[in-house]
Every structure is written in C-alpha cells, then in structure tokens.
Amino acid sequence: MHSWNSLTLAEQTLLRRAMSRDPLAGVIQTYGMALRWAHAEEAPTPRSYSKAEQRELVPMLGAVMRSLVERDLVIVREVAGMSPSPSDPVLTGDALHAVLKDPVNWLWTPASERRFSLATPDAVRRDWVDDAYPVVDADGFPAWDGLSRAQREVLVCAAEASSMLTGPFGIWEDLPSGPVGAERIAWVDRQLAPLIPFVRAGWIEVRHYPGVNDDAFTVIPADGLRRALADPAVRYEGEDWGVGIGCVFTDAGLAVWRGGWGRAWGRRLRVD
C-alpha cells in the first residue's frame, strides 16, 4: 500500500469521505474545501462550487473514484433503505461506471431517487485513519477542562452534522429586538468571543448558508463575522433548517479535535 502523502489531494479527499462513511452526493464541495485549505492554485474562492462548476469536475473525480475502487481502497454502495448499511449492494463494473459518470449522483439535493454511500475496507481505515488529517502540536491550546462552556458548545457544534450557530436549530440565541448601533455590536461581540480564537487559528471555518434546497455557502472571514452576525437577514430567523450561519472544522481543526478535545467530549456525550 502506498503512503498517505503519495496520494493526490483528490484521492485523499475521497478516501477521507469514505473513511467517514459519507454519501457520494456533496463530495465535490468537500474537494473544493480541501483545495482551499491546502492553498492550491486551482482552489475556488472562499465559497462553495456552483452546480455548473461541480458538473465540470465529475469526469475527473469519477476517474479518481474508479481507480480507488479498482485498487480496493474505496467501496461504493447503493443505499437500499432509509440509512446506509454494510448489507447495501456494492457497485462494480458497468453499474459503478454509470453511477459515477452521472453528475446528478454527485450533487447534493434534499431528496434524491437514488443514494450512494462510501466506505473503506477495514485494513485501509486501520492503516490510514491517523494519517488522514494533519498532525497538530497539542502544546499551546488549552485542555478541555480549561475551556469555558461557551467554547465547548462551539467546538461540539463544529463537530456535529448540523453545525448551525444561528437560525431555528442553531446553538446561539437570536438577536434581541432592542439593541441597535453600538449596543447591538457589543452584544454580538460577547456572543462571538468564544468562536473567534478558533477561527483565527485556522481550526474552524464559518459559513453563511443562504438557501434551503442546495448546499451553497460563502465563507465568512474572521474580520467579517461581527458585521454578519449583527445582520438579522444573514443570521436568519425563519423556520427552515440549515439556513443561516454555521461552522465546520477545517482539516487542521479536526486533527486538534481528534487529538485532544474529541476524546473528552466523546466520554461525556454532552456539553457539561
């Protein structure tokens, strides 16, 4: 088996998704993130790929996926029930080729007629899971017990699938109706305080999700968070899930989470 560092960024991205048993749909956005975090020349601007941009990448990523399957590094299954299962049929040969060449199977939509999940053989996961994320020196960041409750809540939010900070399913309160001007900014600064250090360290990326029926987003830089969070329209105060401001771990942040804080949270399965 080759070393992890000998793999291309596209191969590494697909393998990470497979190790996490993620769906095929949406993987192209993950590839765009990986390019940005690696500061690759072909990386997209700090936003998601458009649907047209995703379709253009399907032939290249489809070829990479077929190669990984042929080398017994990745398994592609068609989801037969409500959720992925190891008993779902494995795709090979012409059936696999047909699925991977069709852009509709790569693009995320709220409801699809067919769904496909990724996995890896146990040996691949065992040999590469520790190499799949950057190694971060644990010196210099506080122990879990040294974090405030608000900091822990932000970290848990970034680690979870929903990852929303604002909106009806977010972990943060909506803007109060009264404060305006400097008073509103001061309120936002207090809410933002536990998040900013993780963003500036490059461990967490904050995003604005404007729509309900797609996975489009724009990245909000650290210096733009105050303005975004002071705007009720950006924060979103409606009832739809997944709209508003959310946060995700970067690859470097996942390494920190897995290397230290994640174990503490995993033992408790809740925020103390």
Q: Is the pLDDT of residue 147 over 70?
A: yes
pLDDT tier, 131 (very low <50, low <70, confident <90, very high otherwise):
confident
**Token representation of residue 256:** 């920190």
Alpha-carbon distance 28 to 10, whole Å? 10
Most confident range (mean pLDDT) of 97-106, 167-176, 256-265 is 97-106
Tell me the β-bridge partners of 47: 218
Q: Is the pLDDT of residue 141 over 80?
A: no
Contact 15, 120 (CB under 8 A): yes
Average pLDDT, the chain: 90
Q: Is the pLDDT of residue 177 over 90?
A: no
Find the mean pLDDT for residues 77-90: 89
**How many degrees, rounded to 5, is the angle at CA 55 between CA 51 and CA 57?**
120
Q: Is 170 exposed, middle or buried (0-12, 13-18, 19+ CB in 10 A)?
A: buried
Assign residue 206 a region (left: φ > 0; alpha: ψ between -120 and 50; beta: otherwise).
Answer: beta
**Token representation of residue 194:** 């536990």
Find the mean pLDDT for residues 135-156: 83
Q: Is the pLDDT of residue 268 over 60?
A: no
pLDDT tier, 192 (very low <50, low <70, confident <90, very high otherwise):
very high
**Token representation of residue 239:** 């009832």
pLDDT for res 271: 47
pLDDT for res 269: 44
Contact 107, 70 (CB under 8 A): no
**How many degrees, rounded to 5, is the angle at CA 46 between CA 238 and CA 74?**
95
Contact 108, 215 (CB under 8 A): yes
Instruction: Please state the pTM of the whole predicted model.
Output: 0.87
- Contacts of residue 118, defined as CB under 8 A and 6 or more positions apart, other chains included, come to 14, 17, 18, 21, 22, 23, 24, 27, 74, 75, 76, 77
